[in-house]
Amino acid sequence: MGARRGEMTEIEEEEDAEVEIWRYVFGFAEMGVVKCAIELGIADALEAHGGEPMTLSQLSVTLGCPPSPLYRILRFLVHRRVFKEKPITNIRSQESQEDTTGYALTPISRRLIRDGERSMAAFLLLESSPVMLTPWLALATRVREDGKLAPFEATHGNDVWEYAAEHPGHSKLINDAMACDARVAVPAIVEGCAKLFEGIEMVVDVGGGDGTTLRMLVKAFPWLRGINFDVPHVVSTALPCDGVDHIGGDMFHSVPKADAAFIMWVLHDWGDEECIEILKKCREAIVEADGKVIIVEAVIEDNKDYKYKGVGLMLDMVMMAHTTNGKERTKEEWIHILDKAGFSRYTFTSIPAVQSIIQAYP
């Protein structure tokens, strides 16, 4: 019998594998070249040019790069659809052929603009830093030893939070990356769950970093007042914001009182027991009977049509490389933690982001 429609034959699978295997042999190249593009400022230069295409010569002069290696970087990224080529019609006839072609932004490269509204540049610079890359080389040891020592700790001598506390430059990379994720996630929260903060006056953002998330939430929901709560060395760098107080502390000891506790992309860094402990402290912080804990985290779906499933599975590997017990969780795994933390009920809401919203009630 022939293969069913939509399925590949064994011959087709072999032919596909001949090409696909090279993605894994040189998989680091895509990250390395995109990191290079961010550091060179290619997307920033195109944005500053009014979004109009720029020739290789123009980019070479603007960026201070020789044209030959810059062309090779652009050729690679055009092939990956990070940038695109567009013909330029107002070129004098004596100009070279290369100057009749311009390079322009795409939806992907717009996310590489350093100060772009939906920029992911800071996140990529964090994950492509030597500090974050080196632990991946110890992943097999982590699997064999079943988490006795996280690759990050084995590589650097401290866990990721202790390392950040001792290295301000790396701490800033983390804070910038979390801020850039907030600029993507918060609009998705507002779009996907507009009534999330109805009846809430005071919210504490647990592990809120430099306060970007809370600043955006207060702007989106003007009746809110907030407490940005994180370890002291992190909140010490937070910018002042009307309606937001920055408080340093330890979420394992206590959480400031509020009508609701908001915790985004924190729990996936920890094992189940630590998550239960953190959530109990969040539950204790709720001052009103109708308050709640709002958890914003990935929920791994079995649904093949869920477009963020691959991202969630990659994040799970990141947790394995960079934390001791952190993981991305299925809905059933989240329910287990919420039950153990003493919540009476909870709801799950998908939003247009890799994270979902879990509302947990005492």
| Active site residue ranges | 268, 297, 328
Within 10 angstroms of residue 138's Cβ, the number of other Cβ atoms is 18
Query: How far apart, in whole angstroms, are the C-alpha atoms of residue 140 and residue 310?
Result: 21
Contacts of 341 (CB under 8 A, 6+ apart): 275, 276, 279, 280, 283, 360
Q: Which two tokens stand for residue 281?
A: 């402290």
Query: How far apart, in whole angstroms, are the C-alpha atoms of residue 56 and residue 63?
Result: 10
Query: How far apart, in whole angstroms, are the C-alpha atoms of residue 97 and residue 95?
Result: 7
β-partners of residue 83 are 105
Can you tell me which residue has the tokens 């072999």? Answer: 14
Q: Which two tokens stand for residue 270?
A: 């920890």
CA distances from 334 to 182, 269, 293, 317, 359 (A): 22, 14, 13, 18, 11
Interior angle at CA 161, CA 155 and CA 167, nearest 5: 75
* CA nearest to 211, candidates 166, 264, 158, 137: 264
Long-range own/partner contacts, residues 244-251 (CB < 8 A, 24 or more apart): 244/211, 244/214, 244/215, 244/218, 246/211, 251/206, 251/207, 251/278, 251/281, 251/282
Query: How far apart, in whole angstroms, are the C-alpha atoms of residue 347 and residue 330?
Result: 14
C-alpha 56 chain-centroid distance: 31
Cα-Cα-Cα-Cα dihedral sign, residues 20, 152, 147, 142:
positive
